[in-house]
A and B are shown apart, each in its own frame.
Chain A
Amino acid sequence: MNLLEVRHVSKNFGSLHAVQDVSLMVAPGELRAIIGPNGAGKTTFFNLITGFFPPSVGEIRFDGADITRVPASGRVRLGMARTFQITEIFPELSVRENVRIAAEAAAGMMLGIFLRRARQEAIAYEIGSAIALAGLTDRAERKVGELAHGDQRAAEIAMALALRPRLLLLDEPTAGMGEQETFEIAALIRRLHRDSGYTIVLIEHDMRVVFHLADRITVLEQGCLLAEGTPAEIAANEAVQAAYLGQSA
C-alpha cells in the first residue's frame, strides 16, 4: 500500500488555477522528487500535502486514512514532517533546544510541566540521535541563527527527524546553497533515505541532486502533471525536455 496518496487535487486562488488535477502515489521507503519550472505549482502542491491550506478539489490519504481536511498540526502528529524553502527555525535558540521543542511536541508533551527522569532521558536520547543523524553533534550548543546556511538547513532537518516522521517533506533543501553545502545536504538526504529508510518527498531545483537521489520523479508544469517516472524515463521524456530541460539548456 502507498504511504501517501494524492488523488486528483486542484487548488484555485480566485481565478488562478495553481494546481490542476494532480495525483501522486508515494510508496514506503521511496524518495520522490517533484520538479518543474518556476511557477509550476510545486510549492502550492507541497502546501496541499502538508495541510498549509486545503485543496479546492480532490482527496489526500496518508497511510490509508483520509487527511484532506486535517490541519497542518494534525498531519504533523500523524507523521508528516516538513522543512521550508526559506529555513524556518528558532534562531535565538541552540540546535539542541530547537530539536528539543520538536521532540517534545512529537512526544505529546506540549502541556507537560513535570517530567519523570526516565522520560527526560528518553527524550534527551532522541534529541541526541536526531542531531547526530543530521551531523550537527559538534555544533549542538550553538545558536542556530549563528550557524552557516547549510548547517541551519541541517538543523531544520534534525527538527523534522525529531518528530519521528514516517514521511519527510523537504521544500528545496539545497536552495541558495553553494557547491559544498549542496553536496553535504544531498549526502545527508541520501543517508536518511538509503541508510535510515525514510520515505522522502522533495522539491528540488538542482537537477544533479534530483537525478542523483530520486527513485522516481514527478514533473509539474503550469499546475498540471506533465510526467512521472524513474530518472532515466524522465531524462528521456520528450515533453519534459521540451518544457523543462530544453528551457535551461
Chain B
Amino acid sequence: MSEATALGAATTPVLSRQRLGLAALWLVLILVPFWVPFVGGYTQLAGRALVLGLAAMALNFLLGFTGVMSFGHAAWFGLGAYGTGLMLRYVTSSTLLATAAGVLLGGVLGTLLGRLLVRRRGVYFAMITIAFGQIFFYIAYRWNSLTGGDDGLRGFQRQPIGFGRLLLDIQGNDIALYYYLLFVFAICVGLMGLLLGSPFGRTLIAIRENERRARFLGIDVERQIWLSFSLSCFFCSAAGALYALLNNFADPMTLHYTLSGEIVIMAVMGGMRSFWGPLLGAAVFVVLQDYVSSMTVNWMSFIGLLFVLVVLFAPRGLLGVLQRETPR
C-alpha cells in the first residue's frame, strides 16, 4: 500500500502536466479559425497543415512506434485522395461516403500489398514501398479517361454535409471545412493514441526497441508489423481523402515519391519518437513552404537546411527541443 501511494505521488504531477498539455493542444487546434488570421495565416493553410500532419502521424505510427521505414506513404495518401475524388465525381454527392471510400481504397490496397513486405527490413522494406507508390503514380498518370492523367482529377466538389436539419456547409465556408477536417483528424488521432497505449501498441514498441527480444517473447513480429503497416495505411488514406476535399482536386503528385519523402521529413523534423511531433513538423513544413515560396522558388532548400540542422542538433526533433526536460 505504501508503495502504491509513493508511486502515485511520483507519477501524478507528470500525468496531469501531460493532460494539461494535451488539453491546451486541442484548444489551439479547435480555435484555429479564430487566431490564425491574426498571425498572418488563413484557415485553408491550417487545414493543409492538419491534413499533412495526419499523414505524417500515420507514417510515424509505423516509423516511430514500430521502427519500420516506409518511403512510399504517398501511395496511400494519393489513393485516399483519388478514391474520394472519384467517388464524388462519379458515384455520390455524400462527402462522408466519399471520405470513407478514399480511406477504404488506400487502406485495403495497403493492407493487401503490405502482406508482401513484412519479411523485409530496413532499406529493402523502404525500396519496396517506393515501388508500390510509383506503381500507383503511373496508373494515375496514364489512365487519362478515369483519373485525368497528368492534369489530375478535377470536376468534383466537396458537398455540404447534412445532419438531419443541420447543414455543415463545408463547400462554401472555409471554417466549416476546417472543422470537418479536424473531426476526421480527431477520430484518427484518437484511434492511434488508443492503439499505441494498448497491449497491441506495446508489442509494436517492443519490435521497434528490439526485434529479436520481441520474437523470443512469443510476439509474432511479422503479423504485428503487417497490422501496423495496414493501420498506418488507413490513417494515411484518411489524410489523403481530406486532402482531396480540401483542394477539390486530386493530382498524380499526391502519389509521387517526392511527397513520400516530404512526409518522412515532416515526421523526422517534428520528432519521430513523440506522438505529436509529426504534426508540429508538418505545420512548420507547410508554413515555411507557404511563406518562403512567395519569395523564392527555392523554398525547398530552406526546408532542407532546417531539416539538416534538426537531424544534426536535435535528434528528437523540434518537439523534442520544446519539451527537452519533460520525461516521457
Q: Which residues of A contact B (CB under 8 A)?
A: 50, 72-74, 76-77, 81-82, 84, 88-93, 97, 100-102, 104-106, 109-115, 137, 141, 159, 163
Contacts and interface: CB of A to CB of B under 8 A. Distances in A.
A45 to B, nearest CB: 16
Interface of B: 3, 7, 10, 194-195, 198-200, 202-203, 205-206, 209-210, 212-221, 224, 227
A159 B217 contact: yes
26 contacts: A73-B216, A73-B218, A73-B219, A76-B217, A77-B218, A84-B212, A88-B212, A88-B213, A89-B213, A90-B205, A90-B206, A90-B210, A91-B210, A92-B209, A93-B205, A105-B203, A109-B200, A110-B200, A111-B227, A113-B195, A113-B199, A113-B200, A141-B7, A141-B10, A159-B213, A163-B218
Contact of A110 (B3, B212, B224): B224
Contacts of A159: 213, 217
Contacts of A77: 218
Contacts of A50: 216
Which of B209, B215, B221, B224 has the most CB atoms of chain A within a 10 A radius of its CB? B209
B209 A90 contact: yes
Nearest to A138: B3
Given A90-B206, A101-B217, A115-B199, 15 more contacts: A73-B219, A76-B218, A77-B218, A84-B213, A88-B212, A88-B216, A89-B210, A91-B210, A93-B205, A104-B202, A105-B218, A105-B219, A106-B217, A109-B199, A111-B199
B206 A101 contact: yes
A73 B220 contact: yes
A89 B200 CA distance: 18
B205 to A, nearest CB: 7
Contacts of A104: 199, 202-203
Contacts of A113: 194-195, 198-200
Contacts of A100: 202
Contacts of B217: 76, 101-102, 105-106, 159, 163
Nearest to A144: B209
Nearest to A75: B218
Nearest to B212: A88
Contacts of B7: 141
